[in-house]
Structure 1
Amino acid sequence: MRQLFLIPLLWVLAAPVWADARAQVLMDVLRIDEVAVILQAEGVEYAETINQDMLGGQGGAGWQLQVDAIYNPQRLTETLRAHLDAELQGDMREEVIRFFATEPGAQVIKLENAARAAIGNEDIEDAARTKFAELEGTNDPRLARITALIDGGDMINRNVTAAMNSNYQFMRGLGDGGAMDMTDGEMLAEVTDQQDAITEDTTGWLYGYLLLAYSPLEDAALDQYIAFAETKAGIALNRALFDGYGAAYAEISYALGRAVALNMVAEEL
């Protein structure tokens, strides 16, 4: 009788460990740690632009320490893990793992990350945007496939929403840090005024990035990826990633705005 009670107890104890293990496998096949490092590099470069534009290049070592803490890759990966866990459980998680642990899913992730790292170079970004501009409005079959992927995932609207929220959070950080005197309504109005410009910029960047990323991918492989993205698991993954990145960048933007404000106020004292 003791064994009969012991076996269910072991299953109860093992279940969270198994769940954690599969959650880590999901993170691994999506190469989230690699993405976080790429985004950290982007953030550090952006922070240097802010240092030049808003702090007169006088941020110094203290500013760099603040930036390193704000763009800590572990913070990003943990935020993404939480959203992936919330959206993907059981069979759906296993379906995502199966797709991205094999071809063409594994190749898609590899190409996306390589393109994301490369497009941080201004010349490469300009070339990618130019490629899209040349194809825009044509019947190019590759452009049509990428449009299907973007539209299916509502990627432009999701990116624009995330960008606008990040801008709003940055302004909140500035305000809470004492560097800007605007009401919440005034901040929202200013961000809303940016929507058309953000949408245009996002469209050019996103199409350029995906054209660059998938350029080595065969049409059949891209079609497989588009088909997966339309499944229940693919839709949940897209939602989890956008929500996760959106939450992470909202937090980062607020922290960055507050750090800028504290440095600006300190300079005035």
Structure 2
Amino acid sequence: MIRIACLSVSLALGALASLPDTARAQEAQVAPPTALAQEAPALYRMLDGLGMYEIIALMGTENTRGGADLEEQLFPGAGGAAWRATVAGLHATPRMVGLFEDAFDRDAVSPDQIAIVQAFIDSEAGQRVIGGELAARRMFLDEAAVDAATEDLMAAIAADSPRLDTLQRLNSVSGLVDRNVSGALNLRIAFYRGLIDGGAFDNDVPESMMLAEVWAQEPEVRHLTVEWLFSFQLAAYAEVTDADLETYVALADAPAGRAVNAALFNAFDEMLASLSYDLGVAAAGFIVGEDT
């Protein structure tokens, strides 16, 4: 919903998975209700209604498949089944859900704000918007679908589609571009720190050097983020009316929408940073093993 495109570790690290056309979203298994369902049922219901648990599972699928690209880049042919099992274990849905729920600040959103967002979820407009987002996330498991959506974006730009203006307003009030760019860069930093702490480098890597290298990638990350985000949104809202989308923009710009959006981003950022760091530590073990 509001937090439309918290980019996965695989995209943030520049290691997009290449999936066959037959990829199916059911490969990502959604975790059963957790302790949060008992401890904060209204919050859990809102998160579930927004599709957060399915999105987490889909991210796990994306990142597990992206592990093959990391192996090719960092230790070609040295990972094999052991590396695949390590990546799959790190991105197991119950583990990711636990990280996400632990990171979600329950005091960041009030009961009234949860109720306002839940009312949107339960509305016909909300069902169409959220249903479109989830369908697009499933579709984007297939790289061919991502390519097609990017072509649709280029066509929309060429035609000066008014839908792009609406999406620009949505992204502006939600801070989606800047938040995703910042999150993606932080994931790269976390990954590097994992590599360093895991002993991947013979010499100490100064913090300033690591930060400079990552921030030098900001223009490329921003370009990828904007392209992915608008392509995704055009696909997600293809069957959503202008009126429904305006309702969505209004919610995103309201105090309740802003509070939930910020809490979601913070939780996803912390979850993905933990995963990225752990992935770096794990990769370092294979790099060291390759060198010995």
TM-score (norm 2): 0.81
Structure 1 gap segments, 5+ residues each: 1-15
One-letter amino acid of the structure 1 residue matched with residue 166 of structure 2: R
Matches within 5 A, 1:90-129: 90-129=111-150
The equivalent residue for 1:249 is: 272
- Given residue 46 of structure 1, which amino acid in structure 2 is its aligned partner? G
Paired with 1:37 and 1:19, the residues of 2 have a C-alpha distance of 22
The alpha-carbon deviation at position 75 of structure 1 amounts to 3.2
Structure 1, residues 41-85: CA drift from partner, whole Å, max 9, x if none? 111111111122222133122212211221122233334334252
Candidates 152, 158, 176, aligned match of 2:173: 152
Q: Which amino acid aligns with 2:107?
A: A
Is structure 2 residue 190 aligned with structure 1 residue 175?
no
Change in 2 beyond 3 A, CA 1:204/1:191: same
Indicate the structure (1 or 2) with the bigger Cα radius of gyration.
1
CA distance in structure 1 between the partners assigned to 2:159 and 2:260 by the alignment = 30
The alignment status of 1:213 with 2:213, answered yes or no, reads: no
- Measured in 1, the distance between the counterparts of 2:104 and 2:251 equals 20
Residue 66 of structure 1 corresponds to 86
Mapped to 2, the partners of 1:58 and 1:17 lie a distance apart of: 42
The answer as to 2:258 corresponding to 1:238 is: no
Cα deviation 1:164-185 (Å, max 9, x = unaligned)? 0001111111111111242111
**Partner residue of 2:207?**
184
Give the match for residue 32 of structure 2: none
Q: Distance in 1 between matches of 2:186 and 2:209?
A: 14
1: CA distance between counterparts of 2:172 and 2:160? Answer: 16
Deviates more, 1:124-133 or 1:205-214: 124-133
Query: Which structure features the higher share of helix residues?
Result: 1
**Partner Cα separation in structure 2 for residue 138 and residue 150 of structure 1:** 20
Q: Deviations over 1:183-231 (max 9, x none)?
A: 1111000001001111111111111011111111111111111111111
Structure 2 CA distance for partners of 1:17 and 1:162, relative to 1, 3 Å = closer
Letter matched to residue 74 of structure 1 = P
Conserved 8 A contact 1:173-1:255: yes
Q: How much does 1:101 deviate? A: 2.2
| 8 A contact 1:84–1:237 mirrored in 2 | no
Please, which moves more after superposition, 211-220 or 136-145? 136-145
State the TM-score, normalizing by the size of structure 1: 0.88
- Superposed displacement of residue 130, structure 1: 2.0
Instruction: Compute the RMSD of aligned alpha carbons.
Output: 1.9
| Match 2:183 to one of 136, 155, 162 | 162
- Aligned residue pair count: 254
Question: For the residues of structure 2 that align with 1:223 and 1:84, how far apart are their CA atoms?
Answer: 28
What is residue 223 of structure 1 aligned with on the other side? 246
Question: C-alpha distance in 1, partners of 2:291/2:37?
Answer: 53
The answer for the alignment partner of 2:97 in structure 1 is: 77
Please say if 1:32 is aligned against 2:55: no
Residue 259 to residue 19, structure 1, CA distance change in 2 (3 Å): closer
- Secondary structure of 1:216's counterpart equals coil
The equivalent of 2:64 in structure 1 is 44
Partner amino acid for 1:78? G
1:92-114 CA deviation, whole Å, 9 max, x = no partner? 11111121122211222221111
Q: Which amino acid aligns with 1:191?
A: V
1:86 maps to which of 101, 107, 121: 107
Displacement of 1:88: 1.7
Measured in 1, the distance between the counterparts of 2:108 and 2:92 equals 24
**What corresponds to 1:197 in structure 2?**
220
Identity of aligned residues (%): 31
Q: CA deviation at 1:138?
A: 5.6
Q: Deviations over 1:240-268 (max 9, x none)?
A: 12111111111111111111100111222
